[in-house]
Amino acid sequence: MTDAELIEKLKSDLGDTVEEISNPARRRLFLKVAPQRLLAVTTRLRDAYGVVFLSTISGVDNGEMFEILYHFSTPETDYNIRTEIPKANPHIDSITPAIPGAVLYERELQDMFGIVVDGIPDARPLVLPDDWPAGNFPLRKDWKHERPQEVIPGGKS
């Protein structure tokens, strides 16, 4: 099946659950969806297209909005689902009911961006140290790193 045929099939199958489908390169598709439709689209891709391997979830702080990209791969095609949520109320539903392995990437979203993943089965911090200050999210544009004072053993005070 060509990319154009696959896009037409997706448009027919997913209907208005997808806002936009683009094809920037051969066998690489981007589907833009509203956040409340993310789980439904992910489930449909899993069931009808064999999309089960989530390679990663990435996020972008665009100022007032967070853009979240779910990167899936099959032997034939890469599927990327893109959604946006407001930074003022950063909540997104977990996709673990469809893709259980997403839990690790969703925990990373919580740690690094402060995005609340509703329905995540394990919300413990994943990548930040246990003593990391609450409310500090290192991949947000407004985060400021304050370097700790360097202490040299036996050095001058």
Q: pLDDT tens digit string along 59-70?
A: 999 999 999 999
Tell me, yes or no, whether 143 lies in a domain.
no
**pLDDT of the residue at 62:** 95
Tell me, yes or no, whether 39 lies in a domain.
yes
CATH of the domain at 30: 3.30.460.80
**pLDDT of the residue at 148:** 66
pLDDT at 134 over 90: no
Percent of the chain with pLDDT over 90: 80
How confident is the model over 41-53, as a mean pLDDT? 96
Chain-centre distance of CA 129, in angstroms? 21
The count of domains in the chain is: 1
**According to the 3-state scheme, what is the secondary structure of the chain?**
CCHHHHHHHHHHHHHHHCCEEEEEECCEEEEECCHHHHHHHHHHHHHHHCCCEEEEEEEEECCCEEEEEEEEECCCCEEEEEEEEECCCCEEECCCCCCHHHHHHHHHHHHHHCCEEECCCCCCCCCCCCCCCCCCCCCCCCCCCCCCCCCCCCCCC
Print the domain residue range for 93. Answer: 3-118
pLDDT at 90 over 90: yes
